[in-house]
Amino acid sequence: MGAMLKLVRDGIPEIIRRNGEEPATCVAGAPEYRKRLRDKLSEEVGEFLEVEEDYSKEELADVLEVVYALAQDLGITLEDLERCRAEKAAERGGFEKRIIWTGMENGSGRP
């Protein structure tokens, strides 16, 4: 079985050491880090989708942590990210009204 290569939170190696084990780690270069962040986002979204609603807060927070790391890696400040989100919401709306797309009355196109 090959080595498991997975991006982990910065504190995980120390937690493992406190449990009496020695983790094997390396530091990703920029291209690998960006790829691993994307993989991690997919992993965390999957975990969020799989848990019961009562436990979704922690999983959603994990998704947000990865989004913040991706933004930083891409040179996007949290303020810029929030501004972009707010502009898009002002232009197209949010999701508060719970509108479900069912198609066009004339049978063409998408939203």
Measured CA to CA in angstroms, residue 42 lies from 11, 23, 35, 71, 109 at distances of 21, 24, 11, 15, 29
How confident is the model over 84-103, as pLDDT tens digits?
A: 999 999 999 999 999 999 88
- Whole-number Å distance between alpha carbons of 38 and 33: 9
Question: What pLDDT, on a 0 to 100 scale, did the predictor assign at position 110?
Answer: 65
Q: Which of 90, 86, 44, 92 has its CA nearest to residue 67?
A: 44
Region 51-78: mean pLDDT is 94
pTM of the model: 0.82
pLDDT band at 1 (very low <50, low <70, confident <90, very high): very low
Domain ranges of the chain: 28-92
How confident is the model over 34-59, as pLDDT tens digits?
A: 999 999 999 999 999 999 888 899 99
